[in-house]
Structure 1
Amino acid sequence: MAGGPPLRLIVPALLATVALIHAFVLFPGLSAAGVAGLLTATSAVTAVVMARAALSGRAAGPRARALALAGGLGLTAMAGAASGIAAEVAPGVLVDGVPLPAEIPLVSLFFVAALHLPAILRPPQHRSGLAQLRTALDVLGVWACLLFSAWLLLFSNGGEQRGATITALVFGGGAATTAGVAGVHAIRHRTALQWCGPAAALSLLGLTALVIGLDYPHVPNAAIAAVVAAVAINVAGGLLWYGSVRLCPDLAPLPSPGSEPSASFPLLTVPILGSALITVYHLLNGGDVDAPAIMLGALGVAAVAAREFVSAVALRRQAGHLTDQGNRLRSLMFGAADVAMVLDANLAVRWQSPAAFRQFELPLGRSVALLVDPGQVDDVHATLTARLADPGAATDLGPASGSSPAPGSSPTSGPGSSPTSTSGPGSSPTSTSGPGPSPTSGPGSTSGSGSGSGGAFGSVGVLAVRLRDGFGRWRETEWTISGADPAEPGRTLVVHIRDVSQARDLEQALRQQTHLDRHTGLANGEGLLRAAELIPDAAAMIVIELGGLTAVGDVHGRELAESVLVEAARRLRGGVTAADVPARVGESRLAVLTHCGAVRAQLLAGQLVNALSAPYTAAGAVAHLSAWAGLADMAAGEPAAEVLRRSQLALRSVRSGPPGAVEWYEPEMETRLLRRSTLEQDLPGAVIDLDFQVVVDLPGRRPAGVEVLPVWRHPVLGPVPAGELLALAEELGALSRISDHVLRTSCRLLAGWRRLHPGLWLAVDVRPRQLADPAFQASLHTALETHGLPPAALVVEVSEDDVRQPGVDEVAASLGRLRAEGVRTAVGDFGTGPTSLSRLRILPVDLLKIDQEVFDEPAVLEVAVTVGHRLGMEVIAHGVADLAELNIAETAGCRLAQGGLLGRPMPAERLEAFLEQHHDARQP
């Protein structure tokens, strides 16, 4: 961690400075040697701070390093203080011919070096074993050289004649140089030593200069040098504190094994060279080499030899490691599918991997401008030039266009096509298109060369480039720029090239398949919408529903159903023009996007419905389908999905009508279908109420019967009419539940009402499907028996629409069975459709309800009443709303009538009061 000096260091330093100024004031006669000694002594403050930080665990660096450096700095401070005192107290005392103030720091120099050098040369703990051993041998060799030099200068024969200056220069200079070299060597890998190494060297040089300055007390320049040396020692103390206490050591990543700077850094050069010079100097001055000197020299030589041996082992290991890496890299490069190229400053190919010739047959020395599509040359050249100028820059290469097909490829096929694709270098998919434009081609499609602005670019850092190989074929490639070649930064560029031609072909084929229906070859829903976006002049959308396709599969098997569907697609494709787009938009739904106007679109829809409704012959079987069509206008600006939805709404509306119907979309359909959907969702939990409408005997103006009307009072949509409710319940399979409720409840009420009106009967509306259901007949008999009602008290009523359907014979048979059991039958809403009067002859009916619409033609009404009476039916005038209609009904011969004039539909409670009122009126 980095930061400025803490307050605990600044305050003591200021106090020491103030105390030193006071000392100068109190002792104005203080000599220069004394000033230098006292200045040196102030470094003790820094030494104390470093020691406290190391002992308390607050030092960022290793504790041992901080303690050793603090010890050396403290020893320097004590030596300075002692020499300053000696300079004032005993300035003339000599020790072996050396002044005492100089002898004290000279002796301390050896001990300070003994503390500083191990701390500086200490190997980092996370290095390899060989690296640590090599560093330890460096330390041993340095110390052996320094001790050898010191022994020759001070302790061997003739050593005492050298003097303090030469001894300090040789020993201190060698130690300082070693520490400085270690700091320089650590610049790249050991952050803390960037400060500690030079600081230790400065401290040793300062102590050496102090010795020299104090060795010549009467020379003015020497005294100044001593003061400067004291200041340098204090500066070195601050640097030592910052490097050992504040900086986290060794934060930089480790170099690879065997490539550490110490493996080849000349750390021992200075000590060995210094030892050699001292040996020569010693011998020239008549000295001899004694046994201790020989032993120290032998130790130094052995350390150097061992160090070189360890370095040789490390280098061999590193060489083997590099060889393995090289072999591995070569195997990867030879087997890789991607191509690596090194481009020079002119963007010519200087080097390329073996795959370049094997896959692309690209020669060396050619410029990339000759390899790239002409439409992309400018963009590629600009990008590569920019990356060459700034290899580390991340260039945004614009939007991807990797989906562009290879040159010469055709757009994806249109509806009904059967795509075939051949992948390979330079190949492109080909297709055989059916009628209509391709749903994946046109404006905005990805086909083309991809040239132009941004056309060559893929995602960030990737170039999508069309490359001409050595065979003259165009290949779709992706280029990744990884920066400059480390061997020649700023003049080369490394590019990796990948062949993606097959991937592009597959992508194109897959895109084509996503817009086609695989069973029929028509466009699918997505392809239809895509084609609608690409055809601005489309006029209408036709959606056709094929009814009965599921039944064909159930009866004849799925294979035949699929054959019928394929034949229907063929008929659809043959019935439209080349400008129209046929599609399959559902399991049994087909669609056509046509250019025809409203009238021609209506005719086209009718023709297609007729063609699709014709019998299908496949595998010896004949299948019949029904068809309906819904149409919607392609208004300008309307989304294609919205037009398709409207067409399907129109189809859903027309689907309730007879087969072969065609209907245009109308806005009212939204309301109707929303109502229908709401009723379908809410019907399962609906509460069905019963209303009753009285049937009056006209001659006596008394109730003859009642008709039960199930009513659903929807909380949002209001009352739902009985006819709509029963039709919806029949479609949703809920009719039996409702009819059971109607029969049980109405028969229970009828049993009570017949106590006042014994001849009162009940009419119940029934759907043809219920008549053929044995469960309905069982429920009917159960209701009659439970409440003790005779069968004649119940009238089962079917509508005129029910007897017009093809299954009228089954309806007649069911009515006959009920009539045989005593239940009366009726036909309602007579006169609302083209029912033949002669058909009434085959229906076992007791009551005939004539609808209000017949009242407008009195003659027709009289004929209907007469025919009914002749067939043995009672005729009911239904829907009588005023006196005029009542008079017409009576004139025509109707004995029974029903309508708002005689009594509107009412709940059971009101009907009961109505019946009691008429009963009381009959009492004398």
Structure 2
Amino acid sequence: MPAQFVLRFDPMVVVLSYLTAAFASYVALDLAQRVRSPDAQVARGWWIAGSLSMGTGIWAMHFVGMLALQLPFPVGYDAVVTGISRLAAVLVSAIALRTAAADTLTTARLASGAVSMGAGICAMHYTGMAALELTPSIRWDWGLVAASAAVATGAAAAALCIFFWLRRLTRSQARWGQVAAALVMGAAVAGMHYTGMAAAGIEAGSVCRSVDGLGGDNLVALVAGATFALLLLTLATSAMDARNQRRASRLQQSLQAATTELAQQALRDALTGLANRQLLEDRLQHAAARGRREGQRLALLAVNLDGFKPINDSFGHAAGDAVLREAAQRLQSLARSHDTLARLGADEFVLLLETEVGEAALAQVAQRLLDALAEPMAGVPGAGRQPLRLSASIGIALHDGGTLDASLITQADSAAQSVKRAGGNGFAFFEAHMQADVRDQLDLARELRAALDGEAGAGRLQLHYQPKVDGSSNEIAGVEALLRWQHPLRGPVGPAAVIPVAERFGLIVALGEWVIAEACRQLAAWRSDGLTMRVAINLSVQQLRQPEALLQRFEEALARYRIDARQLTCEITESVAMADAAATEAVLQHLGALGLALSIDDFGTGYSSLAYLRRLPVSQLKIDRSFVQDLETSADARAIVKAVVELAHALSLEVVAEGVETTGQAAVLRGMRCDKLQGYLFGRPMPAEELARWAKDTPAERLRFSASLYGGLDAGAGV
């Protein structure tokens, strides 16, 4: 047998080939995370780009390793065969990344992936060796060839296991784990390469037929440098993508958290954290469905606190809020995990029970609720050391199958009202004789909903407008929009009947939106007739609790009818404004930013914090009619009104007095420099067309007209 060379390798180039293999492995581990992107198009892009980059790195290690071989004659490598070798490396990388993208590494997947990758690595190596064309040809030690194939397959299996192992590490652990794994994988790939190189036998006196191919002293540096640059670029792009994905993930988590919080807020009472009407009605429907399937009844307990308004009036809204929160906590402590406790109104709570709803058990539950509320409440703000005691009126309604509608809540509330009329501090079950009132409210609510939808036969909703006049000149200074409903059977229905039903049956927001749109429409109609007017509309507490929807309705109506926002004034009652002053301030700031004027209605009937009042972006206070009606006979009433006017002017606020019905009242108010006057002395609430004609009269004609028709009416008629 002819003598063979003892293969020698340049140690520096060997080290460089190992570093190339380790770096390529590190990048491969990084790319394995990118190809698992949930976005299929992004994952496919990373798979293709990653296969090219990773394959180039593996091939470069092999090629640099071949260049480390020192032979005593000039050598070169066939470019076409070398290119085929690189293609094999890219295909191996594609297999590796595709396998790494799987959710789990099964035994079958590991075996097929390792064998495929091992075969590809061998194809790359031995095709690359074939690019070195020698005469005589290389003699192979088939034992070492088999060993190199085994090393390649083992290295592939180890790489796949490492890909999946790194997923279980934390982010900080994974970075160091990736470095260690890359060093191991680099050693395995280099081990396979040099085992395969050791299998090559080159005879002494061989001649290289491909000496004119790829070669040269600078080829090692060129291949290694270009490969490192490509891998660095890939790694940097991968790092940027990872950072962007983490940022996007954090943003998505923040958005999800915010969405969840908003959804929870939309279903929760802001003051107590209990369920609101929307959530209660949803729970009711689900409970009724379960009851029908399982043949069980459900029960509602309406809990109305007795004497809550005097607490608010005597000690202020801070005390009232503290009492409501404490009452909610006491009621919640008696509710079971599958019960639902909701707050529907200022002092109205509802408890939904789904099991154990026999009358005896319900009576015991109701008594426990009464006993819990009767415990003294100490430390209430404004009440001093004196503990407060509460009682409640509880109504109980049962549902034993069939279709569930809003009547169950109304039945429970009717039973509670019967207890309240009897003196309170007790409970009662709903009885048939209470049904008439329930049916009437349900019918009114259904008809109101139909009127809002514009259905024929439901009657017509209208806005009537009551004038406000300048305190010194009697010139018209604006109007207040007041709701009227011309019912086809009931006749005229005023706000005193409509508003409670709308609040009870969840129609108040839709009704408020209709008022906003109708007021803007009428302003546009008056503008077409050459009449410029300023309209005040009343906002409900439910509208203020949905600020985004409220702002959107105003923006839509103003844009649709091309109305200057300064022509609209939003009136909010003092009790509503102070119920949650911080939240109210935020909503009013947004309304003010639209250009809307803001007014505090019924001022003096509640308990206002002057600090909050000063912070609210309001421009107007309205003195309640209860003070105005006693101006001519009560020194106390005159003192209160004078103080309110002076307070408002000190805060640069305009003052409107409502309920002005006599010339004596008007004279007293003018003497106090009240800015605007409103009441039957000047004009009743009237339809838009009639108001337009009235506005064209002289002040004296208006006064004579009003006095002749309405001078004898009382203050309450203007509601």
Superposition TM-score tier, normalisation by shorter sequence: 0.3 to 0.5
TM-score where L is the length of structure 2: 0.39
Higher helix share: 2
Q: Which of 1 and 2 has greater Rg?
A: 1
- Tell me which of the two structures has the higher relative contact order, counting C-alpha pairs closer than 8 angstroms and 6 or more residues apart: 2
TM-score where L is the length of structure 1: 0.31
